[in-house]
Structure 1
Amino acid sequence: MREAMCRENDLPGAGWSCCGARAFNPEEATCCKDGYTNNTAVTEGLSEKVSACCGLKAYDQLNEMCCNSTIIAKPVPNAQCCDNDAYDVDKQMCCGPMENKTILTRNSSDHRCCGRDQFDPKTECCCVKEGLKTQLITSSCCVNESAVCGTKAYNTFNELCCQSTVVPKPASNAKCCEENAYDVDKQMCCGPMENKTILTRKSSDHLCCGHDQFDPKTECCYSMNNSLKIQPITSSCCVNESAVTQGLSEKVSACCGLKAYDQLSEMCCNSTIIAKPVPNAQCCDNDAYDVDKQMCCGPMENKTILTRNSSDHRCCGRDQFDPKTECCCVKEGLKTQLITSSCCVNESGAF
């Protein structure tokens, strides 16, 4: 009978829901829906609290992942998809064009992809004009693969432009902390605007509290007399500065301000909790985007989400370009130009 008809006001028990024409208990099963055909299917024995859908089949996000509509075992907690396979992002790399990628053993944490190969941006560059070939950083191709920081050219692979100053990248995922660069995995940039300091990160859970850091599992950061102080989480100050979100286990949750959210299905973008459209989604200002199929381009706080033309495309202002055939011309106000143009010859690179 449940297969033939399902009505919200005539369900078998409390907490049950409809999945198409079928009733199911979200605590014990998962409903998956095809957004194109509107077909639905129920996967029994897997609670919606820990599951996600891969097509019409549900899977356990803690132990499995969905790669190209196929459910595979997750080899490590931070694994990601490389076409149909999974790889360890700390020890491996997924390199190559869309739908023809290969998994490489990462030579170092600094190495990056160059076609289906890898290179060390400290000593090499990936030369577009040579068909994505690794070249010594002193070669003419590497010199031309630079961008502009103020009035000075710099290599985007191993340098950063921080407040119009060129600084070396300490790691591939480095970011600016005022005029300095820091490794976001090992360090933190803490403090008020124009008075920040770089701290050695004590753990991945630690957060900034003024020029210091604290562990939100055991401490809180509270304001007193216009200054920020760290106190044990059991103190009266922490009780007043904190909030409790009921019905969400800390095993799958994180905090977005004083509100907790489910990391499996939600994300925190600019202090706002939004639905996670895909497992590997990232924030683009206040919105979320699929990094495999989309790009987040544009200046700070005024970005736009574009449909990615290919895995090789890069941002050029609020547009994108193919570095194999084009460049992003600074002199033209971040405009796409053919790689054979005079502007590309002088300043090809990505922004």
Structure 2
Amino acid sequence: MAQTGSQMLPLLALVLVWLICDFTTVCEFATGATVASKDRKTCLKIENDIREAVCNENHLPGAGWSCCGMQAFNPEEATCCKDGYTNDTAVTEGLSEKVSACCGLKAYDQLNFMCCNSTILAKPAPNAKCCDNDAYDEDKQMCCGPLENKTILTRNSSDHRCCGRDQFDLKTERCCDMNDSLKIQPITSSCCGKESAVCGTEAYNTSNELCCQSTVVSKPASNAKCCAENAYDEDKQMCCGPMENKTILTRNSSDHRCCGRDQFDLKTECCCDMNDSLKIQPITSSCCGKESAVCGTEAYNTSNELCCQSTVVSKPASNAKCCAENAYDEDKQMCCGPMENKAILTRNSSDHD
């Protein structure tokens, strides 16, 4: 049925309002006008997130802005957090990336807070550390016990170390493994020094445990090695990924090596650095052998990374060198100490060696 002119007027008015509202939004995108203070626009009762639309249209509200997933944010006023496993992202407003760190998808002020097992906690002291889900003052307290059953103790003295969920005095006592249980014994005890050692502040049994980043973990095999704070069987598994985000993979074959958090076959593939990301490519690819190399079982980018004692570390400078498992800037720093206990020091002058 044909519509009369009077019937068409409401429809034309509705279309006109929509066009005006949509044109206003497009103009704000083009000019980058105060998007931070007008993050959301309501158009005919439909709410649109300008920041998401901006990232979708591949341009940003102003200089210095970045995309966090599909959301635009200003790193001076907000922080972007990313989950390395799911690739989910989230923006925490009101916290500059200069002072923040991420705890899962939530950012926090790392000067006053810390992240323990994905929980943000207030720091009890400047040098506070995590003890499972709690925080403790390392100068006055100790975190003792096995990984799954730790407890916080008041430190008796600077000479005290953990022995299971208790503490002992290094000057007069030893922590000994007796019948698969750690016991405190006099320093003259015949058991001392046989199978126990100290990991951070905790004694452990070297026959069936490892010390990984000052954490005692059980050995999954006799040839077990550390992968961050975990242990893995080197014959059957691989420790892959950057230092701050490692994962343990089941080894596909003896010819497989790490490529980021994945693995590739040395016989048929290579690991290439493509747009600052390691990608697995066919061995015939033109990128093979240009910038990537293998460090132990892990591929790395030779332009900005080093292989230090079979560990991939970021270069702090173009002339960086290895100091044990760490890298240092030879112009500004020095690597000092015996082989088993190296330390990186700030160089006082070019005359210091």
Q: Normalised by the size of structure 2, how large is the TM-score?
A: 0.43
Kindly indicate which of the two structures has a greater share of residues assigned to helix: 2
Structure with the bigger RCO (C-alpha within 8 Å, sep 6+) is: 1
